[in-house]
Amino acid sequence: MPANLDTDLLRAFVAVADSASFTRAGERLGRTQAAVSQQVRRLEDMVGKRVFERDTHGVRMTRDGEVLLAYARRMLTLNDEVMALMRRGPTVASVRIGTPDDYATMLLPEVLARFNAAYPEVMVEVVCDNSPDLVAEIEKGRYDLALVTRKAGEDGGELVRREPVSWVAPPLDAAPPQDSPSGHRPVESLDPLPLALFPKGCVVRDLAVAALDGMGRDWRVAFTSKSVVAVHGAVMGGLGVTAMEACTVPPTLRRIGPAEGFPDLPDVDIALHRARGTAPKPVRLLADAIHDLVGGQRLGHRKPGPRRPGGLPAALAILLACAGTLPTTPPARAQSPVAIGAPLTGEVVLNRDIEVRIGPSEDARIVMTLKQGKALNALGTPRGTFWTEVAIGGQPIGYVPADSLDPALMVTGRPAVGGEGPRPPKPGSPAQPADTAPSHRSAAVVPRAAWDKAAQTPAEGYVVAAGPIAATELLTNRKRRGFTLRKGDVVALIGAANGEATLALPAGTRALAPVQGLVGVVAPYPLPGMPPVEPGMLYGIKLGEYVSYAEGSRAWKEFTAGPGTAYRDLPPMVWPVFRKGKLLYEVGVAPFTRLQVDTACGTLAQRGLDCTVIELDTF
């Protein structure tokens, strides 16, 4: 009879793998270091393999441990999903709501999260389409509710709120493609004006082109899609400007208006339609929640309700429900590296409709079906298989055939994987030597191995040398020894004053070094639970700045207990910065690619958080 793996042992194993420390794993699990170590040994005895190598420098996973880790995560996820499903009350009702993709992405997630927390027994289905079609369909009784856009003052439906409409352009520092006909001119200055729009029938599209026609400005449609994420990406990529409701503009894009020569746009109404007849109570409750939260414009100003264990986050559930609304035209594709034996990782798209399975096998259970063109994160391909684990929004969803994935290409034709890459220096700016110039960025991510070595020393943050730095080691016999921190060396920070940092070295001694050239470390990579990253420009999200490490740590705990619950299992991201002779601590989340950070910032902005995107150094 085959042996059964104990989920408690697997949970201890995953905790050690994520924290790279038996002590920190014990703190996370509420157990002693000795108890966690004993559980891991029992697991090793059960599987007959060593899963960790232990030495004086810390804990390192073996190859067998890496194989087990992927299966352990899926087993624990499935275990928690089943337990949550069995413990929750029965689903007694359902509500079907239709809405455009931009409202589903930018307005509804928090509404549904709070509604779900208050009424967990009600199942909500979201279907995305354009407003005119939704109004026609609700008249036929195919939806219970429809949240749509109409021209201001028009009849039909219940007014939820009046919303201003904005012209939106790429950020001023967005680098245009090398072959762009605009050169370095802002896209909004081109003639004819390129537009990135929703399809015909969209109310905001009609208002935008009517306003341009009214002022006699020539325009052309450069990009069209039903997906708000696709339109955001097209504008960010410099394909054109767009017009959209103010509540759907992400913080990474730039609003423009009369100062840039664009006409003011009239407001629109966000309206709620109900199916004919007497609505069941769950439908009335959801309609009231929409009026209260969207109509009261309180989204993001109250703490979201408690997160239900085992369920998909509301934003992810909407993303899956709207998967079929992406453009039906196949995206630009390059030959898949899988075809020549190189498994993909990073941002990918499906090259055909596909069934996602819970394990890397044709016999594994099907968990969902995704459409061709769906954007995913490829996490890796287990040895000896032709199946790749994929994720949406950083959350693993299962496995798909490796040959169903192609590299994600931005609409400009530049690879999306790894972000935009470093921008070229401005003309006339002096070139910096590669190994000696200190970084101009205030934060960095470092390889996991370098982080693990430094993290053996408790400290108030960690720093990395951006180039060679002359330092002084303070020996135990009161003597001093000069040495050089090499580029990429990661060390623990004890404090800083008068332009000099006090460091804790792995050997147990302390050292002094000038703060110039030291960069605060946000996180190591790869980082469990975060989207995979590739070489190239990486970004982070800065949420706040504090005068001490203790205050920063408290802010991180409050963030992960509230709007940042998706990051609660990660180590605290509190890093030091040296500014005008002062030591401060910033709090945020990283690393992301450009596209990933835009998505994450949009989600946090919906929850009322200021979101500052920062560029990261990588070593």
CA distance 349 to 329: 13
Instruction: Reduce the DSSP state of residue 395 to 3 states and report it.
Output: strand
What DSSP state is assigned to residue 532? P
Query: Which of 69, 86, 103 marks a domain boundary?
Result: 86
**Which tokens is 516 given?**
């110039």
Q: Where residue 49 sits, what CATH number does that domain have?
A: 1.10.10.10
- Same structural domain, 385 and 318: no
Q: Residue 42: what pLDDT?
A: 92
Both 384 and 475 in one domain: the answer is no
Tens-place pLDDT, residues 556-583: 888 888 777 777 777 889 999 988 778 8
Evaluate whether residue 367 is within a structural domain.
yes
* Residue 432 placed within a domain: no
Distance of CA 322 to the CA centre of its chain: 18
Among 539, 508, 527, 608, CA closest to 572: 527
Q: Is residue 452 part of a domain?
A: yes
pLDDT tens track for 299-338: 433 333 333 333 333 333 333 344 333 333 333 222 222 2
pLDDT at residue 426, rounded to an integer? 36
Give yes or no for a contact between 132 and 198, defined as CB atoms under 8 angstroms apart. Answer: no
The per-residue pLDDT of the chain, averaged, comes to 77
Q: What is the pLDDT of residues 176-196, one digit of tens each?
A: 554 454 556 788 989 899 999
Task: Count CB atoms within 10 A of the CB of residue 547.
Answer: 11
* Average pLDDT, integer, range 248-262: 88
Assess whether 523 and 582 both reside in one domain: yes
614 and 490, same structural domain?
yes
Beta bridge partners of 270: 149, 161
554 in any annotated domain: yes
Instruction: Give the count of domains, the chain.
Output: 5
Highest mean pLDDT among 12-26, 257-271, 500-514, 562-576: 257-271
pLDDT of residue 296: 66
End of a domain among 54, 86, 118?
86
CATH number for position 499: 3.30.70.1070
Q: Strands 145-151 and 443-447: what pairing?
A: unpaired
pLDDT in tens, 585-599: 999 988 887 767 777
Average of pLDDT values for 283-291? 88
* pTM score over 0.75: no
Evaluate if residue 21 carries a pLDDT over 50.
yes
Range of the domain at 43: 7-86
One domain, residues 486 and 607 = yes
Between the alpha carbon of residue 464 and those of residues 178, 432, 447, 492, 542, the distances in Å are 33, 18, 11, 9, 19
Over residues 71-80, the mean pLDDT reads: 85
Q: Is 329 domain-assigned?
A: no
Of 26-30, 76-80, 95-99, 431-435, the one with minimum mean pLDDT is: 431-435
For CA atoms 582, 588, 593, 594, the dihedral sign is: negative
Arithmetic mean of pLDDT, 340-350: 57
Whether residues 528 and 469 fall in one domain: yes
Domain-embedded: residue 611: yes
| Helix (H) or strand (E) run with residue 287 in it | helix 281-290
Q: Which two tokens stand for residue 482?
A: 């000069």
Residues 172 and 154 in one domain: no
**How confident is the model over 394-441, as pLDDT tens digits?**
667 788 888 788 765 322 222 222 233 333 333 343 433 333 333 457
CA distance 330 to 619: 36
Do 152 and 169 lie in one domain? The reply is: no
Sign of CA dihedral 29, 31, 34, 38: negative
CA distance 514 to 532: 34
Q: From residue 543, give the alpha-carbon distance in Å to each of 4, 448, 558, 606.
A: 44, 23, 12, 14
> Same domain, yes or no, for 492 and 347?
no
Sheet holding 395-401, edge to edge: 366-370, 354-357, 395-401, 387-392, 375-380, 346-350, 405-407
Q: Average pLDDT in the 254-274 region?
A: 92
Query: What gap in Å lies between CA 98 and CA 125, rounded to an integer?
Result: 8
Report the alpha-carbon distance of residue 610 to residue 1 in Å, rounded.
56
Which of the residue ranges 60-69, 267-276, 528-537 would you say has the lowest mean pLDDT?
A: 528-537
Contact 542, 532 (CB under 8 A): no
Q: Is the same domain home to 459 and 533?
A: yes
Which among 227, 260, 293 is the end of a domain? 260
Read off the pLDDT of residues 437-492 as tens digits, 9 standing for 90 and up: 334 578 998 888 888 888 888 888 899 998 899 999 888 777 888 889 999 899 99
509 and 588 fall within a common domain: yes
What is the pLDDT, as a whole number, of residue 335?
28
Q: Residue 551: pLDDT above 90?
A: no
Task: Write out 354-365 in H/E/C secondary structure.
Answer: EEEECCCCCCCC
122: amino acid identity, one letter? V
Q: What percent of the chain has pLDDT over 70?
A: 78
Q: What is the pLDDT of residues 484-540, one digit of tens each?
A: 999 989 999 988 888 899 998 887 888 999 998 899 999 888 776 555 555 567 888
E strands of 402-486, at which residues?
A: 405-407, 443-447, 462-465, 469-474, 480-485
Do residue 490 and residue 577 come from a single domain? yes
In a domain, 22, yes or no: yes
Q: Give CA separation, 386 vs 340, 406, 415, 559, in Å.
A: 13, 14, 24, 39
- CATH number of the domain at 142, please: 3.40.190.10
Which pLDDT score, from 0 to 100, does residue 174 have?
56
- Scan for tokens 């201890």, then name that residue: 12
Residue 238 lies in a domain: yes
Instruction: Count the Cβ atoms, other than its own, within 10 Å of residue 486.
Output: 11
Tokens of 123: 């199942």
